[in-house]
Amino acid sequence: MTPRESARSWLLEGLADRAAHQPGPHRRPPQEHAGHPWWKVVCLTGVDYFSTLGYQPAIAFLAAGVISPLATLVLVLVTLFGALPVYRRVAQESPHGEGSIAMLEKVLPWWGGKLFVLALLGFAATDFLITMTLSAADATKHALENPYVPQLLQGHQLGITLFLLALLGAVFLRGFSEAIGVAVVLVVAFLGLNAVVVADAVLHVAGQPVSVQRWWEAVLAQGSSPLAVVGAALIVFPQLALGLSGFETGVLVMPQIRGGSAGPGLVRRVAGARTLLTVAALVMSTFLLASSFATSVLIPAQEFQPGGSANGRALAYLAHEYLGNGFGTLYDVSTIAILWFAGASAMAGLLNLVPRYLPRYGMAPQWARAVRPLVLVFTAVAFLVTWLFDADVDAQGGAYATGVLVLITSATVAVTLSAHRHGQRRARTFFAVVAVVFAYTTVANVVERPEGVQIAACFITAIVAVSLVSRALRAFELRADGVRFDDTARRFLDDAAARGALNVIANEPDERDAEEYDRKMYDERRDQHIPADEPAVFLEVTVTDASDFETELVVHGEERFGHRVLTVRSSAVANSVAAVALAVRDETGVLPDVWFEWSEGNPLVNIVRFLLLGVGEVAPVTREVVRRAVPDPAQRPRVHAG
């Protein structure tokens, strides 16, 4: 094997069985895997969700100033009474970890639905990639602010962040298996240390009533009345939305929860997931409120600004300030570890999300089902984003929040539509109100920090462009998951094969009456010179959803007006005719002849119709699909057109 072949083999390892070898925290366990208790699986959510405590209080103060605790209270209320009910419903509706995007995919068919999913994937990519880059940048900031770190590392924020991202990519290239044990250790240690820091800070706040009074006076100075201050908090709370980051992840990890894939086991899994989401939201809300209040009261405002000691690391500042550098260093190490692992969680989410949709749509090359090429692509994009933002934690907050908010807003729309389909008026009204709240939050965040939607637009443009090109390049594949014949269809084929010839006449059905079939059979035998003593069957393909790429073909046999007809439903006529012809060859051992009429009209228009609508230049496309599928001409079904 040449070095080039060896490299290709290594890159594409696991391509054939991609779904069974998903890497990292979101990998789907094997069927025989018993699963884990929900309290362990919550740690897989926690490495993403809870790790935001490393930077959330500081970003919140930069966004809202002294009223950040009030804005955080609004965020907590929206979390508990908006996002949490929505995702408890998502967990019920997508018990196998499909998430809200899959829910919307089911109710939005055809190309409009596919393009909408591609747009959501762009925002999901923004969410996950910014999780990687922001977490790595904040981990670097915690390291550089530690008093024991050598001075020679100072001023190298960008370089160290890129090194952490490269290390992350290297781990996934080597192979990253289930990591729930690591997640449990990291989350328990991180939350334990945060509990100590927050409790100590609250005690200091209680012992400094003068500081609390000064903070309250500063709050009142933000408005003409307490009501005006509340209004200001309502206005700025969307900028704190990255504190909502764990809900979509909480649904994605559902397959890890102990239970079954059907019946009572599935009910237990859904119940465990709903409990997981509730506990995670309550824990995070408690920490967000306490940490926001304590940091706002105890840390001087200038320390939150760029270059300040609390910028991007408010709780670490308190740990060093009140508990000493020894404990503070322990806190830094824990924070760096969980932030790095949050990046791993995000990488795993991307590696599982993209192959779940794009290859199935025909909108990604086959190599996109393999892990390592995707790791290289995502790592390169993470490098670019980090370089563009100069590894600045504050600058990436808007992009992160945008990705999170769009996904949650799409989830609210999905559950609203679900409640409507089930005739649940109260639930529909409630979720519609929540959808409006999150739509406002998303718009407000985009207006305040448009860089998030700009980055998402770049991802969406890239995904759509690559997807459409890939779809066009792969248009001549068989595009069939398999072909099955019912008993009647198999009898038709066996009877024809027993007579030594098998003629398949492609028919575009119109009236489906006796005159249509008689005229078609007469014309084909006359014009194509099909011998009168050779058996012939009609094959009719009905296009259902042309935006689908691969479907299982089920061929039904019917007797109509003395003629034998095979019918099949699929996403494209030519590809299905080719797949059925090859299946007929394999089923009977007889090489079939497939007969067409030439398509009328402009060939270029017909090709476009084929790409978009699954119909058009049927005869030449069928010939090309067969040619690509079967290298040996002697083994190909014979395609005729006249």
Transcribe 169-216 into DSSP letters: HHHHHH-----HHHHHHHHHHHHHHHHHHHHHHHHHHHT-HHHHHHHH
For 570, the 3-state DSSP assignment is: strand
Exposed e or buried b per residue across 25-35, where buried means at least 16 C-beta atoms within 10 angstroms of its C-beta: bbbbbeeeeeb
Is the Cα torsion angle 487, 491, 492, 493 positive or negative in sign?
A: positive
* Residues β-bridged to residue 36: 257
Is the Cα torsion angle 125, 128, 130, 132 positive or negative in sign?
A: negative
Instruction: Report the C-alpha gap between 518 and 530 in whole angstroms.
Output: 15
Please work out, in degrees rounded to the nearest 5, the angle formed at the alpha carbon of residue 382 by the alpha carbons of 378 and 386. Answer: 175
Instruction: Report the C-alpha gap between 44 and 54 in whole angstroms.
Output: 17
Please work out, in degrees rounded to the nearest 5, the angle formed at the alpha carbon of residue 451 by the alpha carbons of 86 and 168. Answer: 75
Given a cut of 80, whether residue 299 has pLDDT beyond it is yes
> What's the confidence (pLDDT) of residue 330?
94
What domains sit in the chain, N to C, each tagged with a CATH number? 34-473 (1.20.1740.10), 475-641 (no CATH)
pTM above 0.85, yes or no: no
For 538, the 3-state DSSP assignment is: strand
> What's the confidence (pLDDT) of residue 372?
78
Q: How confident is the model at residue 24 (pLDDT cuts 50, 70, 90)?
A: very low
Largest CA distance in the chain: 104
Terminal Cα distance for the chain, rounded? 47
Instruction: Report the C-alpha gap between 449 and 455 in whole angstroms.
Output: 11
Instruction: Report the C-alpha gap between 313 and 332 in whole angstroms.
Output: 9
Least trusted range by pLDDT, from 4-18, 236-250, 263-277, 618-632: 4-18
Q: What is the pLDDT of residues 225-276, one digit of tens each?
A: 677 777 777 777 777 776 677 787 778 777 778 776 667 778 888 888 889 8
CA dihedral 435, 436, 442, 445 (to 10 degrees): -150
As given in the structure block, the two tokens for residue 119 are 């747009």
Q: How confident is the model at residue 17 (pLDDT cuts 50, 70, 90)?
A: very low
What radius of gyration, in Å, describes the C-alpha atoms of the chain? 30
Q: What is the pLDDT of residues 170-223, one digit of tens each?
A: 877 776 555 677 788 888 999 999 999 999 999 988 888 888 888 888 877 776
Q: What is the pLDDT of residues 303-347, one digit of tens each?
A: 888 888 888 888 999 999 999 999 999 999 999 988 888 887 788
**Residue ranges in 50-156 assigned as alpha helix (H):** 56-64, 68-78, 84-93, 100-107, 110-145
Phi, psi of 137 (to 5 degrees): -65, -40
